[in-house]
Structure 1
Amino acid sequence: MPNTPALENWLAPAAQAASGPSSAALWTLDGLRGADPVLGFAIVLLLAVVLGEAFHRRLHLPRMVGHMVTGALASPLAFRLLERTDLDPWKPLLDLAIGVLVFELGSRIRPRWLVDNPWLALTCVLEGALAGICVTLALHAMGVPLVTAVLAGAVAMSTSPVITLGLVHEMRPRGQVTERLLMTTAINCVLTMVAIKAWRVLAAADAPSWSDELLTAAASAIFVVSGSLLLGVAAGWLLAKLTEAIRGVDATPVLQIAVVILAAMLAAQWTLSPLLALLVAGMTARRKMGHALTVEPHLGSAGAALSVLLFISLGMLFTLDDLLQLWPLVLALIVARFVGKGVAVAALARPSGLSGRQALALTLTLQPMSSLAVLLTADTLGWSGQLPGVDPRMLQALLVATTILHLVGPLLSQWSLRSLADECPHAPRKDA
């Protein structure tokens, strides 16, 4: 694929795609593959909305499942309407969509609850850490190199904030399990980001010139974590002051999305973590503004459109390549992760105030795994090339496991919140 600027790709007339020998085949699969990327995404976006609504109305499944399935069908996994490299020009918008959701997640967190219930705080930390440790030990026991197993364990700690908030927006659950799910997902994001930075230190320690590399990696990790925290606090403080000065309900979502863009761009410019910065920004804004902070789902309709695009992109990144050869690693990763999270939640359920049924529901809702912490550290969505020293077989197994959990996870979460936790008592009507 030629390395042309994204703007030239977007503005290239569709006639160029139809001027070759296959000009009469514009509406065939080959013709659509050669069309302008914006045209291809517009068609896929339209199909995603229709399929998501059909899944929701006919099968009572979350709309996001339909959006991700659409992306998978449009990807090289099925009809090849779009190539995965077509996502790269859209990555700034995808990062913005992730940033909007992470900021909203941070604004829903009540840190005071962790102080009042230290067993809950311990649960949030222990379930992520134990999941990462179980995955690392299981994979290393199967012959995966330690550095690669540690990276897989770091990613396995996370729960997808995108899927979590998407379900909360759609199902509107209320109760202990939902609040703990949001809290745990936020802490998982932080733990995963810190673990990946620690992994880079471990990888540097394994390098030939380990002393210089280790010092550089450690200093970088400290700079990223502390700098992201400071940037998040500053962004949250700025949002609180500007909201107080403007006092305009209509302008509030615009102001919030502007602060999200500013914080994300500064984090990228200063090589910090946009995920951590925006999470802290949401928490800081909530702390300073209290109930005066009103955050619309997706920060408004524009954010909702970005979220649909994000789910389509996640579907396009689905892969089942080499599943027949890698299924032992994939199965070990999924099972070890479930066991780690389940044991931690069950062990601390009673002290933290959960029943056994609620603990099982929380464990199941935490299953959608996220690779967003890794994606946000990469310049393009071909992020595997930016992880030197990682066993490619294990990396592929990690991607396959993420694909499976992205598809199965929302179904488990919906059933758990509705049936086990009973926090969505009103089932959707068949005509809804």
Structure 2
Amino acid sequence: MTALTPFARSASAPLWTLEGLRGADPVLGLALLMLLAVVLAEGLHRAVRLPRACGHMLVGALASPLVLRLLERSELDAWKPLIDLAIAVLVFELGTRIRPRWLIDNPWLALTCLLEGAFAGVAVALSLVALGAPSLSAAVAGVVAMSTSPVITMVVLHETRPRGQVTERLLLMTALNSVLAMLALKVWNVVAAGPGHDLLMTGTGALYLVSASFLLGAVCGLLLELFSRLVRGTSAMPVLQVALVIIASMLAVQWTLSPLFALLVAGMVARARMRHGLTVEPQLGSVGAALSVVLFICLGVLLSADGLLALWPWVLTIIAVRLAGKGAAVALLARPSGLGWRQSAALTLALQPMSSLAVLLAADTFDWASQLAAVDRPVLQALLVATALMQLTGPLWTTLALKRVACESNAE
């Protein structure tokens, strides 16, 4: 337990004081934060209809170096395997809820899925270059701006339980733009490595990454279908799902594959093989729900406002241009793909929560600077602040889009 040191080391002060909290046992400290997060989130939800995920992140922000300094960002690295598991659970569930066949039946929708990420990424990159950012650094900002947070999307859907065409498209686009961002980040790493890099070896590595990640996900999906015949209809089914999610995620990391891609494929293959026989509890049950609370507390701790006053033009540009890029792609193909204007506006808003998943799942720590060492520091900081703002407000955007603008029906 001593490896988990999210609180300071002194335990002499009473527990109810700030010094006492900083000196608390790590497990006790985490439990107290989870208790506070659940109570505060529920209170805010009932009082002002604030999405619970926002409440969880607010508790993390309060405990972060920005406010009370109960947690240091570097101290979250010991929790990263647990947090990665929480992300993996949500990504697998996302994979079980999307229908790839829809892309074949509606090619205009497939084109929309490609363009909404590409438009946002290119628009952000060009805008930052126009503001004086180095081109390679602006490109990585554009890559991250392509993706929508699958974590925020799934948690909001669990809470609001909407049903309708906007919800289905949101799930599909979130999955695809996250994968595209991951692949684009790999390309960026090759370009940033310089002209002396072996392009043939890099191309082979990229092919290995995609094909092996797909194969790993497909095998895990098939194994879930095979083993589920023994435990279907019993309480062991969620346990089996969690076990295979852990196996797929850890093998992907060990073999330097993409956990994001592998888990999405595992979910899709399991759904295709089992169809209505596949029952997936939200967040794979109560353990997954608890992990999600920890995840959003940690996201709150990682929120950054450093340099906001100096970098606000770049931060606002990333947010505004990303919104315009995704909105333009969705609106351009709305009618051919069978979407109304009101639904297009709702989908654009729902796609706004920006994701750091393409970076975090490929990293060993939460230190973006070490993972993106070639990125210009002001650009990276502006990207961190923009991502923090979009993650903190993301549940509001998505809830507003699905329940107010699109007026999706409730599953209950």
Q: TM-score range by the shorter chain?
A: over 0.9
Per the TM alignment, residue 381 of structure 1 is displaced from its structure 2 partner at its CA by 1.1
Report which stretch shifted further, 37-46 or 322-331. 37-46
Match of 1:3 in 2: none
Q: Does 1:282 align with 2:267?
A: yes
In the alignment, which of 382, 385, 391 is matched to residue 406 of structure 1? 391
In the alignment, which of 401, 407, 412 is matched to residue 416 of structure 1? 401
Per the TM alignment, residue 353 of structure 1 is displaced from its structure 2 partner at its CA by 0.7
Alpha-carbon separation, structure 2, partners of 1:134 and 1:185: 18
Match of 1:80 in 2: 69
Kept after mapping to 2: 8 A contact 1:365/1:413 = yes
SS in 2 for 1:349: coil
Match of 2:148 in 1: 159
Q: Does 1:384 align with 2:369?
A: yes
Alpha-carbon separation, structure 1, partners of 2:9 and 2:165: 56
In the alignment, which of 99, 121, 129 is matched to residue 110 of structure 2? 121
Report which stretch shifted further, 290-299 or 378-387. 378-387
Match of 2:10 in 1: 17
Per the TM alignment, residue 354 of structure 1 is displaced from its structure 2 partner at its CA by 0.6
In the alignment, which of 202, 205, 211 is matched to residue 226 of structure 1? 211
In the alignment, which of 274, 284, 300 is matched to residue 315 of structure 1? 300
Kept after mapping to 2: 8 A contact 1:102/1:278 = yes
Match of 1:44 in 2: 33
Per the TM alignment, residue 123 of structure 1 is displaced from its structure 2 partner at its CA by 0.7
Q: Does 1:32 align with 2:21?
A: yes
Kept after mapping to 1: 8 A contact 2:91/2:263 = yes
Alpha-carbon separation, structure 2, partners of 1:185 and 1:234: 23
Corresponding letter in the other structure for 1:36: D
Match of 1:4 in 2: none
Per the TM alignment, residue 244 of structure 1 is displaced from its structure 2 partner at its CA by 1.9
In the alignment, which of 134, 146, 149 is matched to residue 145 of structure 1? 134
* CA offsets 1:189-222 (integer angstroms, 9 cap, x no match): 1111111111111112x2xxx3344444333322
* CA offsets 1:257-278 (integer angstroms, 9 cap, x no match): 0000000111011011111100
The gaps in structure 2 that reach 5 residues or longer are none
In the alignment, which of 289, 293, 314 is matched to residue 304 of structure 1? 289
* CA offsets 1:82-121 (integer angstroms, 9 cap, x no match): 1112211111010000000000000001111111111111
Q: Does 1:367 align with 2:352?
A: yes
Kept after mapping to 1: 8 A contact 2:8/2:23 = no
SS in 1 for 2:108: helix
Kept after mapping to 2: 8 A contact 1:369/1:406 = yes
Per the TM alignment, residue 24 of structure 1 is displaced from its structure 2 partner at its CA by 3.6
Taking a change above 3 Å as real, the CA distance of residues 419 and 318 of structure 1, as seen in their structure-2 partners, is same
Kept after mapping to 1: 8 A contact 2:51/2:156 = yes
Q: Does 1:266 align with 2:251?
A: yes
Per the TM alignment, residue 286 of structure 1 is displaced from its structure 2 partner at its CA by 0.6
Kept after mapping to 1: 8 A contact 2:41/2:53 = yes
**Aligned residues: CA RMSD:** 1.9
TM normalised by structure 1 equals 0.92
The gaps in structure 1 that reach 5 residues or longer are 1-6
* CA offsets 1:287-328 (integer angstroms, 9 cap, x no match): 111111111000000000000110111111001111010001
Q: Does 1:70 align with 2:59?
A: yes
Corresponding letter in the other structure for 1:277: A
Report which stretch shifted further, 357-366 or 248-257. 248-257
1:137-216 aligned at under 5 Å gives the runs 137-204=126-193, 206=194, 210-216=195-201
Corresponding letter in the other structure for 1:244: R
Kept after mapping to 2: 8 A contact 1:342/1:360 = yes
Match of 1:327 in 2: 312
Kept after mapping to 1: 8 A contact 2:152/2:353 = yes
Alpha-carbon separation, structure 2, partners of 1:148 and 1:250: 49
Q: Does 1:133 align with 2:122?
A: yes
Corresponding letter in the other structure for 1:217: T
Alpha-carbon separation, structure 2, partners of 1:126 and 1:24: 56
Taking a change above 3 Å as real, the CA distance of residues 355 and 221 of structure 1, as seen in their structure-2 partners, is same
Alpha-carbon separation, structure 2, partners of 1:60 and 1:315: 19
Corresponding letter in the other structure for 2:335: R
* CA offsets 1:245-264 (integer angstroms, 9 cap, x no match): 33343111000000000001
Taking a change above 3 Å as real, the CA distance of residues 15 and 224 of structure 1, as seen in their structure-2 partners, is closer
Corresponding letter in the other structure for 1:161: P
Kept after mapping to 1: 8 A contact 2:94/2:175 = yes
Per the TM alignment, residue 11 of structure 1 is displaced from its structure 2 partner at its CA by 9.6
In the comparison of the two structures, how many residue pairs are matched? 412
Corresponding letter in the other structure for 2:384: L
* CA offsets 1:30-73 (integer angstroms, 9 cap, x no match): 33223332222111111100111011100111100100000000
Corresponding letter in the other structure for 1:17: S
Corresponding letter in the other structure for 1:8: T
Kept after mapping to 1: 8 A contact 2:34/2:293 = yes
Over the matched positions of the two proteins, sequence identity in percent amounts to 62
* CA offsets 1:374-415 (integer angstroms, 9 cap, x no match): 011110112321222111111111110011111222212211
Kept after mapping to 1: 8 A contact 2:334/2:344 = yes
